[in-house]
């Protein structure tokens, strides 16, 4: 990798751990995104190719929109599907151990945890920790791990890593995109990855109902601070009108962020128990992770989230106030 790793010791310790063990459990965060599930499947494939036994688990299983990933049918969704003992449990793309939610029950008491992540706020909860906050995705870390260990990627693992990278870098558009990110993508394409069909699966597979929900969300956009802050909220009425429940919010908040001059873009939507989920995307003038930490959430500097224990309307007021305060 031409861009230096900030934690090369973490990488070496991770490889040692994976070389030494024979049986592994690999877990990614609940309701996995492309980076979480793609990294999980790629690492699972790499370990299997080294003759290791690997179980893959994620709370709730593979989400329907990522079932096009090769191997995704192998991912279990219930803790009872774990088959201990394991030499180590690998936790991926999780800013804290709580991010794996119900899958904590799958980790045997006293198990060695290997924590591989790219969130700056990661509290190093593992026995072995490899954290690279400069990395745009965990997918890039798994690629670096394969290179360093001398483990060859097959086409399926390459496809999973490509999905991890292309989603977590916002199609190579987030500031976390580095020269090494594009070199890695080039290498994955040489291994047979087809970007066209993948992009169609991820961004070109909306139902008409989802598109209608997007329309409603656009109609509801509001702005403040002369257009520097923009937000929208998805109400239960909108979901009813469209007849769906989206599993993912990245596209809605990116849409708000695409307005010229917007420095803080926010999406509010209902979550369980009458609480509200907040997603934030920002320019360099505002730290999204700090804004969300205010509500007990977290994430990256330009992309973060939180769950507010408030109604949609109360959360809207609180989030806009916090956005105002956080603008430098």
Give residues in contact with Mn ion (CB under 5 A): 35, 93, 168
- 53-57: strand order across its sheet: 53-57, 23-28, 88-92, 113-117, 128-131
In terms of CB distance, is 7 or 53 closer to Mn ion?
Answer: 7
User: In the chain, what's the furthest Cα-to-Cα distance?
Assistant: 59
Whose CA is closest to 119, among 101, 92, 88, 147?
Answer: 92
Report CA Rg, the chain. Answer: 20
Q: Residue 124 CB, nearest distance to Mn ion (Å)?
A: 17
In terms of CB distance, is 93 or 316 closer to Mn ion?
Answer: 93
Alpha-carbon distance of 212 to 210, in angstroms, equals 5
Residue with the closest Cβ to Mn ion? Answer: 35
Alpha-carbon distance of 196 to 297, in angstroms, equals 35
In terms of CB distance, is 29 or 277 closer to Mn ion?
Answer: 29
Q: What is the token pair recorded at 286? A: 């505002």
Q: Residue 30 CB, nearest distance to Mn ion (Å)?
A: 13
Look at residue 115 and give its three-state secondary structure. strand
Alpha-carbon distance of 17 to 13, in angstroms, equals 6
- Residue identified by tokens 């180590």 is 88
In terms of CB distance, is 235 or 254 closer to Mn ion?
Answer: 254
Q: Residue 168 CB, nearest distance to Mn ion (Å)?
A: 5
Q: Residue 55 CB, nearest distance to Mn ion (Å)?
A: 21
In terms of CB distance, is 166 or 312 closer to Mn ion?
Answer: 166
Q: Residue 173 CB, nearest distance to Mn ion (Å)?
A: 15
Report whether 81 contacts 24 (CB < 8 A): no
In terms of CB distance, is 123 or 236 closer to Mn ion?
Answer: 123
Alpha-carbon distance of 205 to 228, in angstroms, equals 31
Q: Residue 305 CB, nearest distance to Mn ion (Å)?
A: 12
């Amino acid at each position: 990798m031409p861009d230096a790793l900030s934690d090369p010791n973490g990488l070496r310790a991770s490889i040692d751990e994976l070389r030494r063990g024979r049986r592994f459990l690999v877990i990614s965060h609940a309701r996995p995104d492309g980076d979480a599930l793609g990294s999980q499947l790629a690492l699972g494939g790499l370990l299997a190719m080294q003759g290791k036994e690997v179980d893959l688990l994620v709370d709730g299983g593979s989400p329907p929109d990522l079932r096009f990933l090769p191997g995704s049918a192998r991912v279990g969704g219930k803790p009872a599907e774990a088959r201990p003992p394991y030499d180590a449990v690998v936790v991926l793309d999780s800013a804290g151990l709580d991010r794996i939610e119900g899958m904590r029950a799958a980790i045997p008491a006293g198990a060695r945890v290997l924590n591989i992540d790219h969130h700056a706020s990661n509290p190093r909860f593992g026995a072995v920790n490899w954290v690279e906050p400069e990395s745009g995705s965990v997918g890039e870390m798994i690629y670096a791990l394969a290179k360093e260990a001398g483990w060859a990627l097959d086409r399926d693992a390459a496809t999973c890593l490509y999905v991890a990278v292309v989603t977590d870098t916002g199609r190579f558009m987030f500031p976390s995109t580095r020269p090494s990110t594009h070199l890695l993508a080039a290498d994955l394409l040489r291994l047979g990855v087809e970007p066209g069909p993948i992009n169609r699966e991820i961004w070109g597979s909306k139902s008409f109902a989802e598109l209608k929900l997007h329309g409603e969300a656009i109609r509801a956009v509001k702005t403040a601070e002369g257009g520097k802050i923009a937000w929208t909220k998805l109400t239960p009425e909108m979901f009813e009108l469209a007849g769906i429940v989206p599993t993912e919010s990245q596209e809605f908040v990116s849409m708000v962020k695409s307005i010229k001059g917007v420095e803080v873009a926010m999406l509010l939507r209902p979550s369980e128990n009458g609480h509200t989920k907040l997603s934030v995307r920002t320019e360099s003038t505002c730290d999204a992770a700090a804004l969300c930490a205010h509500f007990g959430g977290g994430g990256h500097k330009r992309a973060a989230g939180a769950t507010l224990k408030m109604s949609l309307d109360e959360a809207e007021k609180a989030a806009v106030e916090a956005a105002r305060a956080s603008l430098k």
